[in-house]
Amino acid sequence: MSRFLHSKYKELAPYVPGEQPKGQPLVKLNTNENPYPPSPKVIEAVRGAEAQNLRLYSDPEARQLVNAIAGYYRLLPEQVVVGNGSDEILAFCYMAFGEDGIRYPEISYGFYPVFSKTFSVEGQAIPLREDFSIDIRDYQHAGKTVLIANPNAPTGMCLHPAQIEDILKTNREHPVIIDEAYVDFGAESCVSLLPRYDNLVVVQTFSKSRNLAGGRLGFALASKELAGDLNKIKFSFNPYNVNRLSIAAGAAAMEDIAYFTQCTRRVVATRQLTEERLLALGFTVLASKANFLFAKPGNISGSEYFQRLRQRDILVRHWDIPKIADYVRITIGSEEEMERFYQATKEILQQAQQEGAGDAI
């Protein structure tokens, strides 16, 4: 750290992304990327004329992309705000709606508390129930902005839109931001509540269900007024926040509904198979509607399991946070990757059992 850094950032502890290994043939199940490539239509769109046009700035209104999103959700283009990943959209939300503080679950996306520090917003982390579920009563009459990932991460558990509606109803003077990064893997979106709640902001991303994590594309859906606020921030920060290639890629991805449906269904089917297999091996597995499972092995600690998978070139995510240290988060990869993961897991458990039996003698 230099002596020049603004004093308010001296204590800032940045978000730590999951490892992006270079080179090694790893089975990468640690950052919830989609195991399948982008739609062939996306490849075509970025290969075509857009590369020629990189000399020119991108459209600050990203109309092609905004229209594709608005068309898919049957909303007005004025209700859509696009960003350089939904992380940027969330950052805009902190800037725009953080004045009275933001309340979010204690176990949730690790970026929420980091943003609180970055934007000097009073963050209020509310513990989950013992079973990792969210008690909606903790978010009613909050008197401040509410931010909930639904499905939640890293648990994968979700609330029904009717429960979110109960939060929206009792918090009319503040926005309720629902981060739907994983909603396309089997949960129900809150988009249908938009016509009735002018305090709702739905945040989604192209990173997980639309196979474009590297394209950095996220968006918010809200009332015209709320979307206008977010656009005001965007145009006061980085008007060209989405580049030409990503605008073209995002529009093509949004329009290829058949490919999207096929990929998300495959991930869900693999998740179900993986869940059954882990349960049969004695794991505790939380009920996930996301493209990952949060699971606890029966006869070995979370960190030991993580390390033994790592030794077998399989990367999952583990946090040294007491409440979740027994668990690992396993991204659902391709069918082949999950087969390798399953075989490795069986070996690890067998080995642990033998070692345990050895200890007993």
Ligand X SMILES: *Cc1c(COP(=O)(O)O)cnc(C)c1O
The residues of the shown chain that bind ligand X, judged by CB under 6 A, are 32, 85-87, 109, 149, 153, 179, 181, 205, 207, 213, 218
Q: Give min distance, CB of 109 to ligand X, in A.
A: 4
Instruction: Report the alpha-carbon distance of residue 271 to residue 273 in Å, rounded.
Output: 5
Q: Give min distance, CB of 288 to ligand X, in A.
A: 13
CB 268, CB 260: distance < 8 Å: no
Q: Give min distance, CB of 357 to ligand X, in A.
A: 39
User: Which stretch of DSSP H or E encloses residue 176?
Assistant: strand 176-179
Q: Which is nearer to ligand X, 64 or 207 (CB)?
A: 207
Which residue of the chain is nearest ligand X when measured via CB?
Answer: 85
Classified as helix, coil or strand, 302 is helix
Q: Give min distance, CB of 300 to ligand X, in A.
A: 26
Residue with tokens 């090694």: 24
Q: Give min distance, CB of 292 to ligand X, in A.
A: 9
Q: Which is nearer to ligand X, 217 or 349 (CB)?
A: 217
- Edge-first strand order for the sheet with 200-205 is 80-83, 218-222, 200-205, 176-179, 145-149, 102-105, 123-126
Nearest of 123, 121, 126 to residue 105 by alpha carbon:
126
Q: Which is nearer to ligand X, 50 or 179 (CB)?
A: 179
Q: Which is nearer to ligand X, 70 or 183 (CB)?
A: 183
Instruction: Report the alpha-carbon distance of residue 124 to residue 145 in Å, rounded.
Output: 10
Q: Which is nearer to ligand X, 149 or 352 (CB)?
A: 149
CB 294, CB 323: distance < 8 Å: no
